[in-house]
Structure 1
Amino acid sequence: MRTAKIWTTVAATAAAVGLLATPAAAAPTDTTDTTFEVLVGTLDVVTPATADLGSGDTGGTITGALGTVLVDDSRGAADASWTASVTATVFQTGGGSPQETVLPSEIDYWSGAATATTGTGTFTPGQLTGGDAQPLDSVTPLTAFTHSGGTGGNTAEWNPTLVVNVPLDSIAGEYTGTVTHSVA
């Protein structure tokens, strides 16, 4: 009997070792649900702080570049369309008397072609060439640039030209006004 007990113990131990030595069945694939979020950004326009268009005579024209205008669209929209507009104030000489003015309508604006763009969609200048120049206004915005279609983010840069049609009756002096670009 003693031999039978030893064989039973040996058999039970071998079976236990065999169970421990058998590799576990592994799943051939597994998945992880993963998320991330694209944040809603803004639609912004950035313009030069100052611009000097130069000088000229009464009855003539003064032509100069305003400097780079940038529209930055980080809204992440399904339709990333926008329109950039421009207006101007009356331009005036210093505080002397009489104070002379040049009206916005006496200043022509043309955007020219984009100097740089990113993103998808169609970028269109409001006035491609000097022959397309249009007078500014203090109330009614002039279209400077548009973007249509595309998705997600985009940017556009251009360097608009201003042509001041100096009135014949203008007095000498430095004229100051504000050109305002907006985007929506």
Structure 2
Amino acid sequence: MRTSRILTVGAATVTAIALAATPAAAQEDTTTTFDLDAGTLDMTVPGTADLGNGGGGTTITGQLGVVTVDDTRAAADATWTAEVEATDFTTDDGGDASEIVTPGNIDYWSGAATATEGNGTFTPGQADAGAAEPLSDVTPITAFDHTGGTGNNSASWNPTLEVNVPLANVAGTYTGTVTHSVA
């Protein structure tokens, strides 16, 4: 019987050595961060535009250049409306009526989009020349809008201005400002 006791003591010693040889599990934490940037609703427009020339009592028609709305808000409701308004167009000092073309004499039409990205519905304010609207210096008109859709989107268009020059206006270079905004 003596042999079996030695084996039992030997087995217990081997088990104790095996447990002592197993290293404890190591664990270290890494604090991890990232920045989530807020998206924006931006618009780009041409810096200048030359609509051409014509005489008093005529209509001068020209394109303004590409207008783009870029919506990177990644919103669940990515709706926006772009509006447009204008100042008086004047020559010389604009001191009398014959040196001024008011915004009401300038028709605007956005036309169809030249490019779009994203989902939702992109709608021109004035799809064609027949839908042209007079500009105002008081109440903006809708140039383009986007309804529905989610996430990022963009739209571009090249609006046309039709300047209905009053017959009594004097010759000269007329300058004014067309302002687009988006919200």
TM tier, shorter chain? 0.7 to 0.9
SS of the aligned residue for 1:12 comes to helix
Q: Does 1:54 align with 2:48?
A: no
**Structure 2 contact 94–100 (Cα < 8 Å) conserved:** no
CA apart distance, 1:125: 0.1
For 1:69, the equivalent position in structure 2 comes to 67
| Range moving further from structure 2, 96-105 or 70-79 | 96-105
Give the match's secondary structure for 1:128: coil
- Matched with 1:149 is 148
Aligned twin of 1:171: 170
Q: CA deviation at 1:76?
A: 2.6
Distance in 2 (CA, whole Å) between partners of 1:70 and 1:4 is: 91
Counting only pairs closer than 5 Å after superposition, residues 94-173 of structure 1 correspond to structure 2 as: 94-95=92-93, 100-173=99-172
CA offset digits 1:54-98 (Å, max 9, x no partner) = 111221111111011111222232211111111010000023876
Matched, 1:11 2:11: yes
| Residue-pair matches, total | 173
TM-score by length of 1: 0.81
Q: Report the CA distance between 1:143 and its aligned residue.
A: 0.7
Unmatched runs of 5 consecutive residues or more in structure 2: 23-31
Is contact 2:76–2:150 with CA below 8 Å preserved after alignment? yes
Q: How many Å separate the matches in 2 of 1:141 and 1:46?
A: 18
> Equivalents in 2 of 1:159, 1:55: separation in Å?
19
Report what 2:86 is aligned to: 88
Instruction: Give the secondary structure class of the aligned counterpart of 2:153.
Output: strand
SS of 2:93's equivalent in the other structure is: coil
- Partner residue, 2:39: 41
Mapped to 2, the partners of 1:12 and 1:96 lie a distance apart of 108
AA aligned opposite 1:80: A
Identical positions, percent: 65
What is the CA-CA distance between 1:41 and the residue it aligns to?
2.1
Whole-Å Cα distance in 1 between the matches of residues 132 and 36 of structure 2? 40
Shift of 1:39: 3.5
SS in 2 for 1:52: coil
Q: After TM superposition, give the deviation of residue 3 of structure 1 in Å.
A: 7.1
Shift of 1:182: 1.0
Letter in 1 for 2:182: V
Q: Shift of the alpha carbon at 1:110? A: 0.4
